[in-house]
Structure formats: C-alpha cells, structure tokens
Amino acid sequence: MSEKLLESKQTVIKGELQVPGDKSISHRSIIFGSLAQGKTVVTNFLDGEDCMRTIAAFQAMGVSIEKHGQTVVIEGNGVENLQEPIEPINLGNSGTTARLLLGVLAGLPHHFTLFGDESLTNRPMDRVVIPLRQMGAMIDGRENGKYLPLAMRGGNLSSIAFETPVKSAQVKSGVLLAGLLAEGETTVTEKTTTRDHTENMLQAFGGKIDTNNGKISITGKQQLQGTEIHVPGDISSAAFFLVASTIVSGSELTIKDVGLNPTRTGIIDVLKQMDVDITVVEERTIGGEPVGSITVRSSTPKGIIIDGEIIPRIIDEIPIIALLATQANGKTIIRDAEELRYKESDRIASVVNTLQALGADIEATKDGMIIHGNRTLSGGKVDSYGDHRIGMMIAIASLITEQAVTLVNPACISISYPSFFEHLKKVSR
Ligand SMILES: O=C(O)C1=C[C@@H](OP(=O)(O)O)[C@@H](O)[C@H](O)C1
Ligand SMILES: C=C(OP(=O)(O)O)C(=O)O
C-alpha cells in the first residue's frame, strides 16, 4: 500500500482556486444524457474515478460517450435503445453510480449483474432494492439483495408512492429514475430535504417533475431531449480549502465558480455560525444551478451544535468540519448523522480514530461526535481507510500539525478530486 509524506511546514493558503466539477451533477449529466434523444455536451465534467464508472456503465449499454478533457459528448438514442451489457458492471467505489443506476436498470427489459470494490460491497443497497422490487423489478443478491453483488432483470415497472425512510438523495433519485421509466405517476416523499440535482437536471433535459412540501412527483415514459450542461465547481471539494484557509493563520483564499445550490451550502452556514470570516460574491445562475465565489480569511472559529435539517446539506463535509472543530474555541457537537456510518468508510469511526491519532480530543457517539476545540495536533502515520474524504481531511490537517504526517493509501483521493495535491501546492505559499 502506498504512503505519502506530508511534511509539517509553515505555509499560508493564498490566492484563487477553481475546484473541479461537481460529482453529483457530473454523474447525473451522464445518466440523463444517455436516457435522452440526441446530443448532450457536458463541460467542466469531473473526471474523478466515480464519475468514470457511470460513463463506463452506459458505454456498456451501447451509448456513445466520448470524453475530451473535461468535456463529455453523449449521443443519446433514448431509453428503448439501451442494450443488455455482456459483462457484469463494475461500480468501483461509487455509491451514487450504484443507487442511481439501479433505478435506471430496473426500468430496462434486460439482465444485469453489478459489483463493486470492497467498500461498496459493504454499503447497503436494500434502501433502493426494496422500493424497486415493489415497482416490479426482479433483484437478487448477497443477503437477499441487501449488498452487492446483485443480479437483476428490469422492465414493466409500475409506479409507486414511496416515503423514503433514509435521508438520502441517492435513494430518492434511484426511485425517481425508475419512476421516469415506469407507467403512471411515481411520488417520493422525503421528511428532510436532500440535494435536488436529479430534479433540476431532469428539467434541463425537458422533463417535468413537481416538488411540493417534500413530495416529489414524476410521470413515467417522458421523452427527454439532449442538451448542454455546464457543471459548477464542487462545493464538497471546495470545503477542504475553505477549512484550510480558516485554520492556517495568515491565509486568504477565493474559490471561484462554486455550485451554491441551497441543498448543498450547509458548509457555508456552518462556517458562518462558527464565526469564520467568509463571504460569498458574484452569485449568478449557470445552467439552472446557482454559482458564486467564496472568500475565506483565517480566523478562530467557535464550537457549535450541528444537528437536524442541516445534516443532509453537509453530509460529505462532516469529516473536514470535524477537523475545523478541533481548532475552535469550545465544544462542537454533531448529531443526527448516523448516515455517516454507511459511506466509503464508517465516517464516524474513521474521523474519530484519525483525529484522535493526530492528538485531537474527540469522541464518537451513536449518530455523530463530540469535539473539544483548541487542540494542537501532533503528527504521525494515519490511514485514509481507502476513503477519499478522510484522505483529504488528513492532508489539510497536516498543514497545522507539529510533526510530519504520513498518509497511508492516498490514492483514493482521485475518486472525487484527482487534482487535489496539485491544487494544494498551487495555493500554498
Ligand atoms: O446523490 C448524490 O449525488 C449524493 C448523495 C449523498 O449520498 P446519500 O444520498 O446516500 O446520503 C452524498 O453522500 C454522495 O456523495 C452523493
Ligand atoms: C459518499 C460519497 O459518495 P458515494 O456515496 O457516491 O460513494 C462521497 O463522495 O463522499
């Protein structure tokens, strides 16, 4: 297993940065482009490994998808021309590919087998398998279809009125995509709002979807038209640099063209509540999604309580928020975040173990963590757990540790941010 030495050096974070395209929006651009009729051109596509899995899955079904740098051209031929793949589909590390693709495949009259890497193989799939079975898909797999590998035969779906028991955009999206291919009207009701990129992008492709008080309704068998999609910068990637600029004294960084969809901007709200010096400017709309530039100057944050409705709006940012909390005045409590246990690693355990190993005062709870601030972090050898967000959290921590940090298994960072270390170097002075 490879290791990366992150030397403890006096640095400041300065200048301007453009983070790569949003992962959630990149996945969905490939899915809708492949279901639509005609050409779709996606610019600023994230070429992280996860999004490449989504491309490969649709190529295996006969869709022509060409990637030139960050531009992807999809020649859509409509749902009815998606073919049965010869080989099993490898979903790699990508939960989003798995849950959203399951929804699409459930609507196709073909046989599919799906598998993933060790991490994905241990993440729950029954949260989408159960409603898709209710719609008529035949799905079987390990532990009665709870886990990959899965085998399935789709087609002839009927609509469903589904109340999602988990706060998950992936589950909502999987069922809505199946609803798009089913007869009649499907509704998904969610108690807490989760990211709505599926709903937004369906409309960008000419589809119709209604959201009313947490109830999302979609009529099946709609024809979608290819279009142009510009992917905004990923706020979940930006979050690592927002925190870096806060905790490294003397820093000031502007991140340009970041997606500011309100279902994703919880990190900005958290930073503001913690009294971090943050401003958002140049707000505008590109391709149906709000974008803007965020400037952060170093400051000493204060500890806060983070729970309830905001959790899905910061779900991928909690590891880096935990690092920030180790530097805050006072105590930070994170609750209602049990979903973290079902990510690429059990992120309650991996965040707590890693930060403890670096000298933080942090403890795990059933659904979150308690972090006591004002700690000087030491250094040493810590593992990414094969989880990209843990790997990036460790790299940002190393900017303020007293000794060097050896990051074990850094390669996973390219799942969502292949140019992360290059960008870190670019803004380190
Ligand atoms: O829909 C999406 O694109 C995503 C939804 C979230 O997962 P859940 O919906 O499982 O919480 C998030 O953690 C993931 O990185 C991307
Ligand atoms: C949880 C994540 O992604 P996924 O569920 O797509 O693997 C993530 O990117 O942090």
Rg (C-alpha) for the chain, rounded Å, is 21
Domain boundary among 213, 230, 247: 230
The CATH number of whichever domain residue 102 belongs to comes to 3.65.10.10
Strand boundaries in 134-184, DSSP class E: 138-141, 147-153, 161-163
273 and 189 part of one domain: no
The residue segments making up the domain with residue 390 are 3-21+232-427
167 and 181 part of one domain: yes
Residues 6+ away with beta carbon under 8 Å from 134: 160, 162
Tell whether the model's pLDDT for residue 186 goes beyond 80: yes
What gap in Å lies between CA 339 and CA 27, rounded to an integer? 21
Single out the residue of 242, 297, 237, 299 nearest to residue 269, CA to CA. Answer: 242
209 and 238 part of one domain: no
- Ligand showing the shortest atom-to-Cα distance for residue 25: 1
276 and 224 part of one domain: no
Domain boundary among 186, 208, 230: 230
Predicted pLDDT of residue 161:
98
193 and 269 part of one domain: no
Give the distance (Å) from ligand 2 centre to CA of residue 298.
Answer: 28
DSSP 312: G
84 and 152 part of one domain: yes
pLDDT digits (tens, 9 = 90+) for 308-364: 999 999 999 999 999 999 999 999 999 999 999 999 999 999 999 999 999 999 999
350 and 408 part of one domain: yes
> Catalytic residue numbers?
316
69 and 149 part of one domain: yes
Task: Map residue 182 onto helix, strand or coil.
Answer: coil
Give the distance (Å) from ligand 1 centre to CA of residue 429.
Answer: 34
pLDDT digits (tens, 9 = 90+) for 54-84: 999 999 999 999 999 999 999 999 999 999 9
Q: Which residue's CA is the nearest one to ligand 1's atom 8?
A: 168
pLDDT confidence tier of residue 10, bands split at 50, 70 and 90: confident
Share of the chain above pLDDT 90, in %: 97
Give the distance (Å) from ligand 2 centre to CA of residue 342.
Answer: 10
pLDDT digits (tens, 9 = 90+) for 127-147: 999 999 999 999 999 999 999
Residues 6+ away with beta carbon under 8 Å from 166: 127, 339
Q: What is the mean pLDDT of the chain?
A: 97
Domain boundary among 182, 213, 230: 230
pLDDT digits (tens, 9 = 90+) for 241-253: 999 999 999 999 9
Predicted pLDDT of residue 219:
98
Tell whether the model's pLDDT for residue 8 goes beyond 80: no
pLDDT digits (tens, 9 = 90+) for 262-301: 999 999 999 999 999 999 998 899 877 899 999 999 999 9
- Ligand showing the shortest atom-to-Cα distance for residue 415: 2
Predicted pLDDT of residue 288:
78
200 and 284 part of one domain: no
If you average pLDDT over residues 109-118, what whole number do you get?
Answer: 98
Count of structural domains within the chain: 2
182 and 80 part of one domain: yes
What gap in Å lies between CA 31 and CA 73, rounded to an integer? 12
If you average pLDDT over residues 100-114, what whole number do you get?
Answer: 98
134 and 248 part of one domain: no
33 and 146 part of one domain: yes
Tell whether the model's pLDDT for residue 9 goes beyond 90: no
